[in-house]
Amino acid sequence: MTASRDPRIRPNVILGVLTLVSLMTSYVEAMVVPSLPHIESALSATDEEAAWIVSAYLVVGAAIAPLFGKMGDVYGKRRLYLISLALYSVAVLMAGFVPNVYYLIAARAVQGFGFALFPLGLAIVTDVFPRERVAVAQGILSATFAIGMTVGMIAGAYIEEYLGWRAMFHTAFAISIIMLVLASLLLWSPSPVARERIDFASTVLLASATTVILVYLTEAPYRGWLSLGQLSLLATGFALFGGFIAYGSRSTRVLIRFDLLKRRNVMVANLLGLLSGVIMFLLFMGVIYYAEELPPYGLGLSVISAAMTLLPATLAMIFIAPLVGAVTSSLGPRPVLIYGSLVSALGFYLFVWDRASSTALVLDSFVTGVGVVSTTIPIVNMVAVSMPPDSVSVGLGFNTMVRFLGASVGPVLAATLLTDYRAYAEYIIPYLGTLTFTEGGPQAFNMIFYIGSAISIVMMVISLFTKNYRARGSAALTL
């Protein structure tokens, strides 16, 4: 924390660069979503292969986040941040010129190395700001995920419509190079506290377990949740996690020390992180699916209009996130987590009560978004504060991995509910007459939002176990 007293170090400038990079990466990942049908058609891909265009990034990213976090602690956070951003930029360039879907999936997998930018950025923020201002800075950085996702969907739809899907990656590469230059010139982080060897045995076990579980979740809608092959994947994933736990319990050089994971606030933060990942994507997918669903069961909006229903809520995060960070510093994480969980539960229930118009959808999304961001920021701060200086990056990397495991469950859970609870709708098609289609019915959307509300209540209960603390001094809203 002494870095903020060094006149050569400019924390606000560093935060600005980290925020722009985080916006850029979440924007790039979101802009792929509305273009998937066109990419699938252009590359003659199957639905399953198209799903891997999205999942390859998550699988690799979640697997390497703890490793890159540890390497940041050992070799320097700035160095690993720049390496991650460089790999990400190269992969974005590759994606714009791929000849077939398999090369695109490979390019998206390499983009997964950019996944480590978020936990490394949070760790740098923890280093350069004084403790009483860390939560506010982390709040600003955390808000960029939701903002970038929404803006990315809107911009991606426009770019794909007028310039083609390859232009999305070409423009993203140009932006990423600008970000790489800015980061190399303006970022700073202190020298590593101590050099130590990285235990690659525990790293391989954890990364393999995470990868197998994410492959199971990605393939479940296409190969079945309970097919023999899928159950074998699930059993292998849990066995690898068990091996990681068994190895770590007797090793002194494990990737992340188990005594740190057993700290009360770290355990609470990781449990809440898993659940917050689920509800964030239940919110995102539930709103988008419902907005695009044809009447009478949805609003029948275009991709762009559907994304616009989330835009007011995500833009409001620019103002809400620093406020949540300041309150976390002054009151501590526990009351903020309880408040956020209750607001999130209320927001999800509002979707069940009224979602009959775009205005209602915007208001419901706003309330739920306030609740979700009010849980995300204390979670991140709890990990950063609870970890010793030589383990902050790996701790945040592990938490990021856990949150994105939850984030991978959210879309699959929403899609499964929409498949299981279908309704019939009749449409009059010119020259063809009346045709009957099956769509996700009202019960499917109610179940999505009821589950989101229930998970939020569970998060509130878990939040009660938080060991509260307050930052020294008073948190300022202006950085």
355 contact partners, CB below 8 Å, separation of at least 6: 290, 361, 364, 445
Give dist(CA 168, CA 102) in Å, integer: 18
Query: Is residue 217 classed as helix, strand or coil in its secondary structure?
Result: helix
Q: What is the 3-state secondary structure (H, E, C) of 413-427?
A: HHHHHHHHCEEEEEE
Which of 214-223, 286-295, 449-458 tops mean pLDDT?
A: 449-458
Global confidence as pTM: 0.85
- For the record, the structure tokens of 261 come out as 């994971």
- Using a 10 angstrom Cβ sphere, with 0-12 exposed, 13-18 middle and 19 or more buried, the burial of residue 305 is middle
Residue with structure tokens 């383990």?
391
Mean pLDDT of the chain: 87
Which band of pLDDT confidence, cut at 50, 70 and 90, is reported for residue 13? very high
Please give the pLDDT value at position 473: 52
Q: Residues 309-317: what's their mean pLDDT?
A: 78
Q: Is the pLDDT of residue 71 over 50?
A: yes
The string of pLDDT tens digits covering residues 385-433 is: 999 988 898 999 999 899 888 888 888 888 788 878 877 666 566 666 6
Measured CA distances, 330 to 11, 324, 336, 340, 370 (Å):
20, 10, 10, 16, 19
The closest alpha carbon to 446, from 308, 289, 245, belongs to: 289
β-pair partners for 428: 434
Which amino acid is located at 47 in the chain? Answer: D
Contact 161, 38 (CB under 8 A): no
β-pair partners for 436: 426
Task: Please report which residue ranges of 293-332 form alpha helices under DSSP H.
Answer: 303-308, 311-331
Please give the pLDDT value at position 49: 86
Please give the pLDDT value at position 157: 78
Measured CA distances, 293 to 77, 144, 145, 177, 280 (Å):
44, 27, 25, 38, 20
Please give the pLDDT value at position 474: 45
Which band of pLDDT confidence, cut at 50, 70 and 90, is reported for residue 1? very low
Q: Residues 99-121: what's their mean pLDDT?
A: 93
Q: Is the pLDDT of residue 441 over 90?
A: no
pLDDT-wise least confident of 236-245, 268-277, 319-328, 429-438: 429-438
Q: Is the pLDDT of residue 479 over 50?
A: no
233 contact partners, CB below 8 Å, separation of at least 6: 212, 213, 215, 216, 219
Please give the pLDDT value at position 404: 83
The proportion of the chain whose per-residue pLDDT surpasses 90, expressed as a percent, equals 49
The string of pLDDT tens digits covering residues 174-232 is: 999 999 999 999 999 888 766 677 888 899 999 999 999 989 988 887 888 889 999 99
Please give the pLDDT value at position 477: 38
44 contact partners, CB below 8 Å, separation of at least 6: 100, 101
Q: Is the pLDDT of residue 308 over 90?
A: no
Please give the pLDDT value at position 250: 80
Give dist(CA 450, CA 466) in Å, integer: 25
In whole angstroms, how large is the CA radius of gyration of the chain?
A: 22
Give dist(CA 285, CA 10) in Å, integer: 38
Query: Is residue 175 classed as helix, strand or coil in its secondary structure?
Result: helix
- For the record, the structure tokens of 110 come out as 């390499």
Residue ranges with strand state E in 342-429: 422-429
Give kind and range of the element (H or E) at residue 103: helix 101-111
- For the record, the structure tokens of 33 come out as 């979503």
Q: Which region holds residue 287: left if phi is over 0, alpha if psi is between -120 and 50, else beta?
A: alpha
The string of pLDDT tens digits covering residues 122-162 is: 999 988 988 888 888 888 888 887 788 778 878 887 887 78
Q: Residue 356 has what DSSP assignment?
A: S
182/55: higher pLDDT: 182
Chain-centroid distance of CA 304 in Å reads 21
- For the record, the structure tokens of 249 come out as 């319990």
Which band of pLDDT confidence, cut at 50, 70 and 90, is reported for residue 281? confident
Contact 195, 74 (CB under 8 A): yes
